[in-house]
Amino acid sequence: MPSVRDIVGRDPEADPITVLTAYDTPTARIVDDAGIDVVLVGDSIGDAVLGHDSALPVALDTIATHTAAVARGVDDALVVADLPFLSYGVSEPESVRNAGRMLKEAGAGAVKLESGPHTVDLTRRLVELGVPVQAHLGLTPQHINRVGLQRQGTDEEAAAEILDLAAAHEEAGAFSLILEHIPANLAAIVTEELDIPTIGIGAGPETDGQVLVVNDAVGLSERAPPFATAFGDVRGEMIEAVEAYRDAVTTGTFPGEEETYVEEGLELDN
């Protein structure tokens, strides 16, 4: 696995950074084989895979299990574990222990946490201890109960706060910053002001890289945020394949001769 230094050392103007989520080994292998730079084991697993309405119910053990599955499928990409709701920020020792587990047990190369005024000191502490941290500003869906899922940073005060917090997290040692669902002109300014690479989702084209939830990107999601685009129709393909299987079984064409083995001379008298 590359270190965060391989990501940070690049020239994103020439070579934008590509990030996708993955939650399982086969998907991670596809993403890694395609040359995607960073695989994020997102807490979006909550709604994308586990059937919850949000990411809030996702447990740290769930992220650990799926990060380990992803790490087993990846040769080249950096694996980032997305710390779930309340697994950090309650107390510093617990936050450090939980973040540390992602590197020591699950095979992540870095952790991401949703940032705010309350995570500057924690980011500094984790980085001091040797845990690479990716920050995340703009829409932070773990605050859904306070802010919903609306675009953030749309007035001057809110935009200035995002810019200030971005600088504070860079100064605290974050190696990269996710910017979610903010105006493109704000994301461009943040990107211009920071030295660390910014990764946008619903933040326009001027960040140093882009991230999407893989289910949205391949067209597997039933519902996706307004800023996501499906680059395929995996859901449509799965529906067709499952219906074709059903039809083959119910019409008796599967299993056919190809999939069937007969042991010649086998006779059981009972």
| Contacting residues toward Mg ion, per CB under 5 A | 42-43, 82
Query: Are 19 and 199 spatial neighbours (Cβ–Cβ below 8 Å)?
Result: yes
Q: Which is nearer to ligand KIV, 40 or 111 (CB)?
A: 40
195 marked as binding residue: no
The yes or no reply on residue 148 touching ligand MHF (CB under 6 A) is yes
Please pick, among 180, 257, 263, 267, the residue that the annotation labels catalytic: 180
As measured in angstroms, the least distance from the Cβ of 63 to ligand MHF is 13
The reply on whether position 176 binds ligand KIV by CB under 6 A is no
> How far lies 215's CA from each of 31, 211, 223, 238, in Å?
12, 12, 10, 13
Q: Which stretch binds ligand KIV (CB under 6 A): 6-14, 39-47, 116-124, 244-252?
A: 39-47
Listed residue (130, 128, 131, 129) closest to 112, CA to CA: 131
The reply to whether 48 sits near ligand MHF by the rule CB under 6 A is yes
Q: Which of residues 210-239 bind ligand KIV (CB under 6 A)?
A: 211, 213
- Using CB under 6 A as the binding rule, whether residue 55 contacts ligand MHF is answered as yes
170: Cα within 13 Å, side-chain hemisphere: 18
Whether the Cβ atoms of residue 215 and residue 232 lie closer than 8 Å to each other: no
**The pairing of beta strand 209-212 with beta strand 198-201:** parallel
Whether 180 is a known active-site residue: answer yes
Count other Cβ atoms within 10 Å, centred on residue 116: 17
The pairs formed by 258-265 with CB atoms below 8 angstroms and a separation of 24 or more are none
Q: Which is nearer to ligand MHF, 133 or 212 (CB)?
A: 212
Single-letter amino acid, residue 86 = L
Residue 44 counted as an annotated binding residue: yes
- Minimum distance from CB of 182 to ligand MHF (Å)? 11
Beta strand residue intervals within 60-184, DSSP E: 78-82, 110-112, 133-138, 176-180
Contacts (CB under 6 A) with ligand MHF, residues 175-194: 181
Binding-site positions for 3-methyl-2-oxobutanoate: 43-44, 82, 112
Which residues are tagged catalytic?
A: 180
Residues of this chain that interact with ligand KIV (CB under 6 A) are 21, 40, 42-44, 82, 178, 180, 201, 211, 213
